[in-house]
């Protein structure tokens, strides 16, 4: 009886070395393996009843994991949780990532406090696997990843390149730009991490009357063909007006107009994008994500600080797992459109966890310094690293 049980467990112990440790509960399986190894060296035999008990527990736990139970990403709500201080964070230091753009380099721009870099996102019902850049590169070997969207996509793209570079600092890389597409290639792994600057996802076309935002047209999607993983985002440019608005007219359903309800325009563009996904994505070859709505912090009333008019001097997150001001309306519009898509699209529902991080923006430590107040983008290292850590847990 002992011999058979021990043989099975020894085999499991050997096999476990080839499997991600996250699959096994460390408080029983690896402890048992250590006991068996010690016994084998000492010539001792542990009681067969104990062995069988541990074997049963181990099989049940492994089976539960395989079914998506026990807090695995398949069953766990990764987006409901709290921010906790963890001195092992950040996952990289900005100084070790030389290609971070100036607007995200808060420390180099003079931000004196660093506590904002030491927060880790903790879901209420499970734990996130810590981002493992080398594992990510191995999984994506020979493949391409593209972030598509506005400067918040650029924020996440830069975070991803820093996370990966810090994991393999001696691995060669190249950076190139072709038109609106930046390409960061880890040559040893043949992995391309790309950014397509496309703030509306649909097209802006220059015509005789001027620049036309075409809500039914998505010709820019040609750049997305052949990409293995796509992470989309659009929102922050939809309410721009004046000199920074990059269009003069809107066209929808064959009708050209000077303007329209911006939320309706946002929804129509998402519907056009959703139709493209259903018509063009082969889910056996391509993974599609939507980044979600990244929030801004310019109104302290929303986080119970009515005197705050921006994010300056904010040093800690909002406590708890809910945001006093609630979700922006765009979240409901986005989720409504996503629910109509037939092909699998995973929402990186980062809005609430980011709303809690009023402390994570550059404020005056961004691109324009004291002349600007940036409470829309995020410092790096910082909140976008968590977006990518969740992405890592979902692939």
Strand-pairing partners, residue 44, are none
N residues, the chain? 395
Question: Cα torsion for 382, 384, 385, 388, to the nearest 10°?
Answer: 170
The C-alpha atoms of residue 305 and residue 302 are separated, in whole angstroms, by 7
d(CA 243, CA 323): 33
User: HSE-up of 130 (CA within 13 Å, CB side)?
Assistant: 11
Q: Where are the alpha helices (DSSP H) in 72-215?
A: 133-139, 151-167
Residue 179 φ then ψ, to 5°: 65, -125
Q: Are 279 and 271 in contact (CB under 8 A)?
A: no
Q: Which positions are annotated as active-site residues?
A: 151, 374, 377
Dist. CA 268–CA 314, nearest whole Å: 36
Angle at 154 between CA 153 and CA 156, to 5 degrees: 65
Is 208 strand, coil or helix?
coil
Question: What distance in Å separates the CA atoms of residue 292 and residue 307, rounded to the nearest whole number?
Answer: 28
CB hemisphere CA count around 324 (13 angstroms): 13
Distance CA 223, CA 147 (A): 11
């Amino acid at each position: 009886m002992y011999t058979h049980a021990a043989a099975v467990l020894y085999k499991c112990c050997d096999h476990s070395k080839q499997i991600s440790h996250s699959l096994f509960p460390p408080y029983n399986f690896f402890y048992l393996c250590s006991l068996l190894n010690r016994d084998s060296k000492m010539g001792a035999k542990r009681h067969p009843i104990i062995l069988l008990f541990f074997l049963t527990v181990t099989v049940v736990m492994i089976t539960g994991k395989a079914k998506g139970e026990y807090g695995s990403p398949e069953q766990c709500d990764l987006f409901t949780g709290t921010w906790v201080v963890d001195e092992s964070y950040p996952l990289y230091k900005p100084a070790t990532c030389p290609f971070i753009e100036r607007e995200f380099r808060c420390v180099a721009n003079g931000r004196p406090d660093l506590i904002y870099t030491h927060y880790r996102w903790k879901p209420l019902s499970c734990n996130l696997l810590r981002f493992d850049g080398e594992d990510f590169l191995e999984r994506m070997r020979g493949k391409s990843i593209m972030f598509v969207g506005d400067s918040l996509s650029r924020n996440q793209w830069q975070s991803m390149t820093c996370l990966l570079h810090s994991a393999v600092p001696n691995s060669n890389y190249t950076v190139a730009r072709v038109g609106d597409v930046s390409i960061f290639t880890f040559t040893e792994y043949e992995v391309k991490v790309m950014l397509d600057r496309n703030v509306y996802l649909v097209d802006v076309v220059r015509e005789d009357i001027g620049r036309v935002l075409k809500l039914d047209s998505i010709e820019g999607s040609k750049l997305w063909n052949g990409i293995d993983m796509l992470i989309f985002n659009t929102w922050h440019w939809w309410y721009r007006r004046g000199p920074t608005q990059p269009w003069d007219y809107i066209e929808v359903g064959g009708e050209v107009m000077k303007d329209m309800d911006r939320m309706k325009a946002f929804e129509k563009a998402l519907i056009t994008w959703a139709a493209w996904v259903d018509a063009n994505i082969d889910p056996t070859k391509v993974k599609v994500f939507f980044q979600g709505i990244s929030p801004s912090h310019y109104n302290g009333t929303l986080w119970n600080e009515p005197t705050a008019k921006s994010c300056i001097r904010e040093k800690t997150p909002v406590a708890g797992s809910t945001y006093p001001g609630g979700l922006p309306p765009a979240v409901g519009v986005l989720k409504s459109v996503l629910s109509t898509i037939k092909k699998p699209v995973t929402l990186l529902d980062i809005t609430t966890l980011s709303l809690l991080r009023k402390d994570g923006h550059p404020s005056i430590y961004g691109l324009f310094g004291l002349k600007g107040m940036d409470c829309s983008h995020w410092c790096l290292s910082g909140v976008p690293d968590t977006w990518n850590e969740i992405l890592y847990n979902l692939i």
